Structure 1
């Protein structure tokens, strides 16, 4: 690692960045996934739009649409030199320069779009770009996200950097409300998040999946805990393991496409899409994990909520200057569960620790799934008995989401088969951020309305479902609540 020149990624700190432009250019640019795409393109355009030879916009949508009108305004402000359709561009005398291609374009015009400009930036949710412009783990000059979300963000960012007019996130959320389904869902998601995060009538559960901590969203989660937005967290083990890396002050890095996966394997540099996790980071995670559980009694039944609380306590004592998810959760008394208990680096460490105990003639520790289930059951039952409503804020899908939603039918079945008098448990509110379409059948794409049929959600539950890359949409919702809390 010492001789390698890899670019360090930086956790997105919403406390440091106050404006839309700062969040995007100074924050997201050093993250990963969609956030980095947005940040890097925004940074590029702040430079390109200052040049005497301005970039131009290629757009095949309706000029009278909200997006079409906003693109024309960006030309009127002289940030761009022209707004042109792909059809016109194919026959126009344009040659060279920088093109920003917004939205879908027909294959009939691909040759012109791919060959005529010196540089082309593509903004669309269809993963359309010049052949070989992107490759595995490397996505320069593209934002693979809905332009109805991205262009308003870029507009306010350029307005800040080119015209000196700053915008807070509350202004962005209001602005987005006019931009199609994605904009409306962002506005409604912010409204509902403001209620579920601030209203004491609600107990809110955060579910987390996807590589959000190596993507540098860890401090966003910390802020949700520190500002009292959530009451319970259900997470993948990977998110917490990689969050421990941040909590120790260790680093993730931007992937260099010149390094093959075969070479990375030889160097013990683990690739996660477009970023690198050095194996040495996970060695440090194992060391902490071992120190936390070394003195536990054999045959002790333990669950992830208890283990994560112990890890948080350790971080509080030994890493006082670092921010970390489990540290914040320990300090605020927020339980953190990992329902898929075997699928993470931390369980690997738990398993090997047990193997070593056995070699030494000691009793194994026992990971008991019922511990966390009983805790969650009691958590939601206590909330309902105290007259609270349940809300869920979902990043992605997967086991963490299904686990906390499944508590409703679990209690329903318990009532039927035990005869116990238990309150009815269903969610009253939900906000979900995931780009998956419903038709592929994944839990990420499953709409909240489907849960009504399972008696998991109330029939009149208030929900917002944002079909977007979480690394782009999620920080703005959290910052919106931070601004208005």
Structure 2
């Protein structure tokens, strides 16, 4: 073993372990936080609103994901939310779905980082860093290549991100998953649509670019991602769902995309209900020019979110998502929820 490969093995030594919300009961903590102040009380109210959404038989809760919390240890929280019928649709960044969830479904891991290591040394060892988390770049390129293989197997035509991710879930469920029970595979099996409105801003983008370049060079037609179809399909879900709730981790494109479905429905001549329940967990605020940080109250001015049951939680998401998830799991409102299976809207 070379000195470089030996160092890489040392750096990629401590794997990130994902939280299991069923293994601990966060209800006493949430109950205590409800009697406190600051972010603790905000967190308790967010948990209460999420439980209200789950108890509301007319409500369809959606999971909105931005940032790197999946790589940081919350991956199974989101997976279990789908598995337990807490979530009917997902809107996320491509990185959350591909570089993190699909990546681990292929059998790869995320690793706890040593903050003292020079990033140039990481580059020399083909290691990518997300704050204090490492990813093996060679494994990530294998993920790119797998996306290429899936793209090459499909009919050359436009696909919404939801449709392509459904194909990824199908591929995993056909015996190709090295790690069973990923978010993508669970969503495929449960009929929960996943949308990534900026899908190519991820590991998938590299595989899809190579697919198009190779097909074009050979004079062959190729598949592509239809972003307009994403918007149309999620708006179709909003119209079909009626009452909706948003569980938002981070902000950015996924947040705005999900909220905009109410406005889009109105443009289509449908009087869609504003999102009735809304929680956003973020560290961003409006001092940066509202970059990814417009508040839920502001969204009310656009006709997107009702402000009766909304809560901003200004906290780093990995510290509070496991608490809210465990609280909802153990209170058990999900046990009487019927899965919406919105994939049926698209013939799946």
Residue 227 of structure 1 deviates from its aligned partner by 0.7
**Corresponding residue SS for 1:217:** helix
**Corresponding residue SS for 2:258:** helix
Residue 15 of structure 2 is matched in structure 1 by: 9
Q: Please give the alpha-carbon distance, in whole angstroms, between the structure 2 residues aligned to 1:284 and 1:320.
A: 13
Q: Please give the alpha-carbon distance, in whole angstroms, between the structure 1 residues aligned to 2:314 and 2:14.
A: 29
Are residue 323 (structure 1) and residue 181 (structure 2) matched? yes
Q: Please give the alpha-carbon distance, in whole angstroms, between the structure 2 residues aligned to 1:220 and 1:349.
A: 28
Residue 297 of structure 1 deviates from its aligned partner by 2.3
Residue 423 of structure 1 deviates from its aligned partner by 2.3
- Output the aligned Cα RMSD: 1.7
TM-score, normalized by length of structure 2? 0.88
Runs of 5+ consecutive residues of structure 1 not aligned to the other structure: 19-167, 416-421
Are residue 335 (structure 1) and residue 193 (structure 2) matched? yes
Q: Please give the alpha-carbon distance, in whole angstroms, between the structure 1 residues aligned to 2:179 and 2:252.
A: 33
**Corresponding residue SS for 1:244:** helix
Residue 354 of structure 1 deviates from its aligned partner by 0.9
Q: Assess if the C-alpha contact under 8 Å between 2:128 and 2:136 holds in 1.
A: yes
1:46-125 correspondence to structure 2 within 5 Å:
none
TM-score, normalized by length of structure 1? 0.64
Residue 320 of structure 1 deviates from its aligned partner by 6.6
1:278-325 Cα offsets, whole Å, 9 max, x none, are 112212212321232222223x01111001011111112222752211
Q: Which has the larger radius of gyration?
A: 1
**Once superposed, which parts of structure 1, at least 4 consecutive aligned residues long, lie more than 6 Å away?**
none
Are residue 467 (structure 1) and residue 276 (structure 2) matched? no
Residue 355 of structure 1 deviates from its aligned partner by 0.5
Which structure is higher in helix share? 2
Are residue 437 (structure 1) and residue 270 (structure 2) matched? no
Residue 89 of structure 2 is matched in structure 1 by: 232
| Aligned pairs, number | 324
Residue 408 of structure 1 deviates from its aligned partner by 1.7
Are residue 482 (structure 1) and residue 344 (structure 2) matched? no
Residue 24 of structure 1 is matched in structure 2 by: none
Residue 409 of structure 1 is matched in structure 2 by: 263
1:64-120 Cα offsets, whole Å, 9 max, x none, are xxxxxxxxxxxxxxxxxxxxxxxxxxxxxxxxxxxxxxxxxxxxxxxxxxxxxxxxx
Residue 335 of structure 1 deviates from its aligned partner by 0.5
**Corresponding residue SS for 2:245:** strand
Residue 393 of structure 1 is matched in structure 2 by: 247
Runs of 5+ consecutive residues of structure 2 not aligned to the other structure: 333-348
1:344-378 Cα offsets, whole Å, 9 max, x none, are 11112111111111122211212211221111111
1:249-275 Cα offsets, whole Å, 9 max, x none, are 211122223431111112111111111
Are residue 308 (structure 1) and residue 165 (structure 2) matched? yes
